[in-house]
Structure 1
Amino acid sequence: MKKSKAFFIIGAFTFILSSCASSPSVQKEASSTEQIAKEIESSKRVKAMNEKLLMSSFSSGRSSFRDYKIGPQDLLEISVFEVEKLNKTVRVSSQGNVNLPLIGVLKVKGLTPEELEKEIRSLLAEKYLQDPHVNVLIKEFRNQRISVMGSVRNPGVFDVTGTRTILDLLAMAGGLREDSGQLLFLLRPPKEEERSQQSKGDEDRRPETFVIDLEGLLVEGNLKLNLPLYHGDVINVPVSGKVFVGGEVKSPGGFVKGKKMTLSQAIILAGGLKFTASGSDTKIFRYSEKGTDKEVLTFDVYAIQKGREKDPYLHENDIVIVPQSGVKAFLSGVKETFRAAFGIGRVSVGL
């Protein structure tokens, strides 16, 4: 009887030990299963996006050329059906002009072929022809260099002709990788006219940044997000696990989120606020895990910096946008006017 009792106690003790030992293993297995499920879900999401991308690249065809904006070095074939002598093939000059019979020098840069047809028709109808029929054909497109980087299968610099869009370039780059995040950044350098007007030390020469929701573009089919691209544009698809800072900061972009990152730390990583920033109206756009629900939070960065408000922690894939202050933008314009008119190197304007 004593022996059987002893065996029962030892057996019970062994069972308790084994169940205690197996508990962490079960937890680890559950955690591993959850991680695999997340990876499968992410893989499905990216696969669906790439399928949409492939279909859109097939359907786009050459229709985008209708919206193409004429630029320097394009070769134009201009036909006027009523007067054959007015037909001409011309190369657009570096200034964006062409020289046409009867009309003379005409600025064509930035016009679509259809807009140029209307312009030539109007000028000829003023003095020379009644209801002329004009056709503009682009025989040669200038090459545009657009870069695609980040979490795509074939990143690189692409030489393209004609009007191209974000979908076109993502397709040319082989589609998204499985570790891609939900957002795409389009960085656009200042235009030539803007660069010539700005002084060398001006911080406003930084690229313009557009933030595109990839699920909105590829899954929901919101073609308003499919922006046209121009020479010098850079597309960046960051990997997931980042926060994004844009608007009136000095170096907008995506930043790797550590275990704990606050709003003020993210703004420091983005180079700090510009003079024209309205830091008191800073917005955090926060998406749910499925990407369907969006929460918008407003914070006063100035109050946080002075310790009057708590510095909030950021979540993965948060988007921080610092808007522009109307008053500060006006004062910045005044500063630039003084600098241009009187040759003043730096003007400090206090509020």
Structure 2
Amino acid sequence: MKSIKLCALFIGFLSLVFVKTLLAEEEYTLGSGDIVRITVYEHEDLNLAARINEKGNITFPLIGEVTIGENTVAFAERIISKALEKGGFVHEPQVSIVIEQYRSRQVSVLGEVRMPGKYTIEGASSIIDLIALAGGVSDKASEFAHLITTKQGKPLQIRVDLHKILFDGDVSQIVDVDTGDIIFIPKMDRFYIYGEVQRPGVFRLERNMIVMQALAVGGGVTPRGTERGLIIKRINSDGEVLEIDASANDLLIPNDVIYIKESLF
């Protein structure tokens, strides 16, 4: 049920993401390959469209070659404005820059999404935008996503709590993506239950799930079973299988195996 809600909320949540994306557009960093349209108010002869070259430069009337790459749109506007005024060409120029075409930027979305693959992003895009482009998460998806990116030339992995974003509206969990990033959605955490239970098998491990809730998911014990003497088989950090005497309120962790004994009476 939680996985179905998680999938559905990706559609309903897009309105909230859209607002954040609009704000993030202002922080987009210009780069090589971007095509920009530059307008100088009341100076139509200076208006032009230009592609930023590999050095981050464009050639602008009167001021020549100017570097605007690796800057936000607002900062690039100020660069051109100051150059025009410093050169004595325009008094208090009002410069406006609009991005007409973004350079080709791709992000890979892998794992438990409906349409894994590479997606081209335009402008500022978040991890939620890319998961939505990939069709949303599958029914077997975890509640967490992993963003593999780089920071200052070093690889960095960020764990994103999709549950907090979609169920709690926690936009602080939303992170932006950039060229070459990888988004990976792992399979859901699971637990196993067998023995004298109505529906033995493998089930999704919900957040903060306890043994009592797991028994309910498994349909409860059979008439021959007993909730006394429950055993959890758990793999420790050394790969050893431990047998733990469990109670109904014990918290489960991923890959726990619950065994329901047969009643002796």
TM-score by length of 2: 0.66
Pick the structure with more helix per residue. Answer: 1
Query: Is structure 2 residue 221 aligned with structure 1 residue 260?
Result: no
In structure 2, the gaps of 5 or more residues are 191-232, 240-249, 256-265
Rounded to whole Å, the distance in 2 between the matches of 1:59 and 1:155 is 25
Q: Note if contact 1:145-1:232 (Cα within 8 Å) is conserved in structure 2.
A: yes
Pick the structure with more strand per residue. Answer: 2
TM-score by length of 1: 0.51
Number of aligned residues: 202
Aligned CA-pair RMSD: 3.0
**In the alignment, which of 31, 34, 37 is matched to residue 71 of structure 1?**
31
Query: Is structure 2 residue 116 aligned with structure 1 residue 155?
Result: yes
- Residue type at the aligned position of 1:163: A
Rounded to whole Å, the distance in 2 between the matches of 1:61 and 1:187 is 20
Once the two structures are TM-superposed, the CA of residue 119 in structure 1 deviates from its matched residue by 2.0
Q: Percent identity?
A: 27
Q: Which residue of 2 aligns with 1:119?
A: 79
Rounded to whole Å, the distance in 1 between the matches of 2:49 and 2:10 is 41
Rounded to whole Å, the distance in 2 between the matches of 1:57 and 1:155 is 21
Q: Which residue of 2 aligns with 1:137?
A: 98
Mapping for residues 1-351 of structure 1, pairs under 5 Å: 40=1, 42-47=2-7, 49-56=9-16, 64-128=24-88, 129-189=90-150, 194=153, 205=154, 207-241=155-189, 259-262=234-237, 315-316=253-254
Q: Note if contact 1:53-1:170 (Cα within 8 Å) is conserved in structure 2.
A: no
Rounded to whole Å, the distance in 2 between the matches of 1:147 and 1:76 is 26
Rounded to whole Å, the distance in 2 between the matches of 1:259 and 1:99 is 65
Once the two structures are TM-superposed, the CA of residue 51 in structure 1 deviates from its matched residue by 4.1
Q: Which residue of 1 aligns with 2:197?
A: none
Larger Rg: 1
Once the two structures are TM-superposed, the CA of residue 59 in structure 1 deviates from its matched residue by 5.8
Q: Cα deviations across residues 274-313 of structure 1 (Å, max 9, x unaligned)?
A: xxxxxxxxxxxxxx97xxxxxxxxxxxxxxxxxxxxxxxx
Q: Note if contact 1:147-1:156 (Cα within 8 Å) is conserved in structure 2.
A: yes
**Structure-2 change in CA distance of 1:61 and 1:183 (3 Å):** closer
- Residue type at the aligned position of 1:84: E
Q: Note if contact 1:188-1:209 (Cα within 8 Å) is conserved in structure 2.
A: yes
Rounded to whole Å, the distance in 2 between the matches of 1:145 and 1:51 is 22
- Residue type at the aligned position of 1:114: A
Once the two structures are TM-superposed, the CA of residue 52 in structure 1 deviates from its matched residue by 3.7
Q: Note if contact 1:52-1:219 (Cα within 8 Å) is conserved in structure 2.
A: no
